Amino acid sequence: MEQQRIVVCKLKGQGGWYEIAKTGMWKGHDAGEFELTTADLNQIVFNFNNSDLAKIVVDYEHQTLEGVEAPASGWIKELKVEGESLLAKIEWTKRAKEQIKNKEYRYLSPVLIANAKDSKSGSSIGWYLHSVALTNTPFFTELNPIEAKNQNQNKESKVSEKELEELRAENKRKEEELKAKEQEIAKLKEEQAKQKVADAIAAKKINKEQETWALKYALADEAGFEEFLKNAKELPEVPESNQFAASNKPDDGIDVVKIALGDENE
């Protein structure tokens, strides 16, 4: 398995959202330097949204990686990309809330896996968020701490009932105006994604068995899918009698995903 890439940022957030990673070139890891792009962050979000896991654990000091008792300090409910940052919405445990309030922990340390494999098909799914930890020992000093704006979580903005009604009416109007257009755009987007996948299969960048996964990827992240295809090598011809076609084990026969990613020597 590819070694884990661990980055660290200050434990500050707003509205339950915390910045856990951002784009850039990072150096100093045992496995060598690596780069995170916006496409990589979107790929992490896509893989999270399509995972069988409802939430991702936030542990203490990366204990989940050690295979020891690893109580959760919180759970990641959602991920999103804003600008050059990957944000996580975290649901903290009661104990963790007190520790954070008392400044017993100051940093978040996400574990990112490059070239992760789908647990069912064995296909490459790119970047994947394994877990996040509360820690006071940053792994990377290259990542500048992210300072979030101060906030008073107990202070709520007051909006009049009249303003709320106006907002509701405006939202309803926009929804009605956009409904037909959204359906048209969605249909066009699906047609374009199907064509991209068909072209990729014809160009031997992916095989027929990856069609469903590729279509979901293309629909969710067009730029990320195009980047994936740009780096993928042409698949070799595989005889129809090759045992890979009838095997569900990633190690049987030729791993076409590794070949597509240029990892045939691994």
Residue 6 has pLDDT above 60, yes or no: no
Q: Would you list the DSSP string of 115-138? A: EEE-TTT--EEEEEEEEEEEESS-
Q: Are 9 and 143 in contact (CB under 8 A)?
A: yes
| pTM for the structure as a whole | 0.49
Beta partners for 87? 19, 80
pLDDT at 31: 59
| pLDDT (tens digit per residue) in 114-138 | 888 877 777 888 898 998 888 887 5
For the segment 139-156, the average pLDDT, to the nearest whole number, is 37
Q: Which structure tokens are listed for 67?
A: 């295979």
* Mean pLDDT, rounded, of the chain: 76
Residue 239 has pLDDT above 70, yes or no: no
Residue 64 has pLDDT above 80, yes or no: yes
| pLDDT (tens digit per residue) in 168-194 | 777 777 777 778 888 888 888 899 999
Give Cα 255 distance to the centre of its chain.
Answer: 24
- Report the C-alpha dihedral over residues 158, 160, 163, 168, rounded to 10 degrees: 80
Distances (CA, A) of 175 to 164, 171, 180, 185: 16, 6, 9, 14
For tokens 């150096």, name the residue: 27
Q: Which structure tokens are listed for 263?
A: 């990892």
In the chain, where the domains are located: 4-135, 167-260
Q: Sign of torsion, CA 35 38 43 49? A: positive
Beta partners for 196? none
Residue 140 has pLDDT above 60, yes or no: no
| pLDDT (tens digit per residue) in 218-227 | 999 989 999 9
Give Cα 231 distance to the centre of its chain.
Answer: 19
Residue 246 has pLDDT above 50, yes or no: no
